[in-house]
Structure 1
Amino acid sequence: MKVVVIGAGLGGLAAALRLQGQGLDVTVLEQRETPGGRVSRLRDGDYTWDAGASLITMPWLLEETFAAGGLDLHREIRLQRLNPLYRICWAEDARTFDFGDSPAQLRDEVARFSTRDARRVDDFLEALQPIYERAVLGAGRRSFEDFRSLAALIPSMIRLDAMLPLYGFVSRFFRHPRIREAFSFHSLFIGGDPYRVPAIYAALVYLQVLDGAWYADGGVYSIVEAMARPLDVRCGARVEAVETVGGQARAVRLEGGERIPADVVISNADVMRTDELLGRAREGRRLQPTMSCFLLYLGLDRTFEELRHHTLLVGSDYRGFIENATRGGRMPSSFCTYVNAPARTEPAMAVPGGDALSVLLPVPNLRAGIDWDHEAGALRDALVTDLERTFGLDGIADAVRVEHRMTPLDFERELGAVAGNAFAVEPTLQQSAYFRPPNRVRGVGGMYHVGGGTHPGAGIPGVLLGAGVTAELVVADAHTSRAAAA
Structure 2
Amino acid sequence: MKVVVIGAGLGGLAAALRLQALGAEVTVLERRPSPGGRAGQIRADGFTWDTGPSLITMPWVLEETFAAGGLDLHSEVTLHRIDPLYRIRWAGEERAFDFHQSAEALKAEIARFSAADAGRLDAFLAALKPIYEQGILGAGRRAIQDVGSFLGLLPMMARTRAIGPLHGFVARYFNHPRVQEAFSFHSLFIGGDPYRVPSIYGALVYLQVLDGGWYTDGGVYSLVQAMARPLNVRYRERVEAIETRGGQVRGVRLISGERVDADVVISNADVLSTDALLGRPTLRPMTPSMSCFLLYLGLDRVQRSLLHHTLLVGEYRSFIHTVTRARGLPNSFSTYLHAPARTEAAMATPGGDSLAILLPVPNLRAPVDWSEAADGLRDRLLADMEQAYGMDGLAGSIVSEHRFSPLDFRDRFGAVDGNAFSLEPTLAQSALFRPPNRVRGVRGVYHVGAGTHPGAGIPGVLLGAEVTAGLVAADHRLTAAAWSHR
Interval of TM-score (by shorter of Structure 1 and Structure 2): over 0.9
Which amino acid in structure 2 is aligned with residue 409 of structure 1? Answer: L
Counterpart CA distance in 1 for 2:67 and 2:454 is 21
The answer on 1:49 being equivalent to 2:71 is no
Task: Report the counterpart of residue 302 of structure 1 in structure 2.
Answer: 301
Residue 27 in 1 paired to residue 15 in 2?
Answer: no
Alpha-carbon shift at residue 328 of structure 1 (Å): 4.5
State the SS of the aligned residue for 1:293: strand
Amino acid in the other structure paired with 1:292: S
Structure 1: distance between partners of 2:230 and 2:480? 27
Residue 316 of structure 2 is matched in structure 1 by 318
Aligned 1:95-106 pairs, distance under 5 A: 95-106=95-106
Q: Residue 427 of structure 2 corresponds to which residue in structure 1?
A: 429
Aligned to 2:402: 404
Residue 72 of structure 1 is matched in structure 2 by 72
Structure 2 unmatched runs, 5+: 482-486
**2:166 — aligned with what?**
166
- Measure, in 1, the Cα distance between the counterparts of 2:151 and 2:15: 28
Cα pair distance change 1:230/1:481, threshold 3 Å: closer
Give the secondary structure class of the aligned counterpart of 1:479. Answer: coil
Superposition deviation, residue 256 in structure 1: 1.4
8 Å contact kept, 2:290–2:324: yes
Aligned residue for 2:104, secondary structure, equals helix
TM-superposed CA distance for 1:92, in Å, is: 3.8
In structure 1, the residue matched to 2:193 is: 193
Work out the CA distance in 2 between the residues paired with 1:263 and 1:369.
Answer: 43
Per-residue deviation, 1:482: 12
Aligned 8 A contact 2:326 2:363 in 1: no
TM-score (norm 2): 0.98
Give the secondary structure class of the aligned counterpart of 2:215. Answer: strand
User: CA separation in 1, counterparts of 2:480 and 2:381?
Assistant: 58
Residue in structure 2 matching 1:334, options 332, 354, 379: 332
Structure 2 counterpart of 1:122, which letter? D
Question: Where do residues 5-154 of structure 1 align in structure 2 (5 Å cutoff)?
Answer: 5-154=5-154
- CA offset digits 1:434-481 (Å, max 9, x no partner): 000000011010000000000000000100000000000000000299
> 323-332 vs 385-394, which deviates more?
323-332
Aligned residues: 481
The separation in 1 between residues aligned to 2:444 and 2:326, in whole angstroms, is: 39
Q: Is the 8 A contact 2:326 2:365 kept in 1?
A: no
Structure 1: runs of 5+ lacking an equivalent: none
CA contact (8 A) 2:4 2:265 kept: yes
For 2:44 and 2:475, how far apart are their aligned partners in 1? 46
Letter of the 1:443 partner, please give it.
G
Partner residue of 2:214?
214
Question: Residues 219, 482 of structure 1: CA spacing in aligned structure 2 closer, same or farther, 3 A cutoff?
Answer: closer
SS of equivalent residue, structure 1 residue 188? helix
Task: Give CA-to-partner distance per residue, 1:56-98, whole Å, 9 cap, x none.
Answer: 0001000000000000000000000000000000014210110
Are the aligned partners of 1:329 and 1:365 in contact in 2 as well (CA < 8 Å)?
no
1:441 aligns to what? 439
Structure 2 CA distance for partners of 1:106 and 1:481, relative to 1, 3 Å: closer
Match of 1:467 among 449, 465, 468: 465
List 4+ stretches of structure 1 deviating above 3 A: 480-483
- Mapped contact 2:86–2:311 kept (Cα < 8 A): yes
In structure 1, the residue matched to 2:392 is 394
User: Pick from 347, 350, 354: which aligns with 2:348?
Assistant: 350
RMSD: 1.2
Report deviation, 1:156.
1.4
Contact 1:166–1:184 (8 Å) recurs in 2:
yes
Q: 1:288 maps to which residue? A: 287
1:415 has 2:403 as partner: no
| Structure 2 CA distance for aligned equivalents of residues 264 and 114 of structure 1 | 55
1:282 CA drift (Å): 2.1
% identity of equivalent residues? 66
Question: Which residue does 1:254 correspond to in 2?
Answer: 254
The 3-state SS of whatever aligns with 1:109 is: helix
C-alpha deviation, 1:149, in angstroms: 1.2
1:231-253 per-residue CA deviation (whole Å, 9 max, x = no partner) reads 00000111111110101111111
For residues 410-429 of structure 1, the C-alpha deviation after alignment (integer angstroms, 9 at most, x for no partner) is 00000000000000001000
Query: Aligned with 1:388: secondary structure?
Result: helix
* TM-score normalised per structure 1: 0.98
Residue 382 in structure 1 maps to residue 380 in structure 2:
yes
Pair 1:176-2:191 in alignment: no
- Equivalent position amino acid for 2:218 in 1: G
Corresponding residue number in structure 2 for 1:244: 244
Q: Is the 8 A contact 1:187 1:201 kept in 2?
A: yes
Amino acid at match of 1:32: R
Tell me which residue corresponds to 2:484: none
Give yes or no for contact 1:272–1:283 (8 Å, CA) kept in 2: no
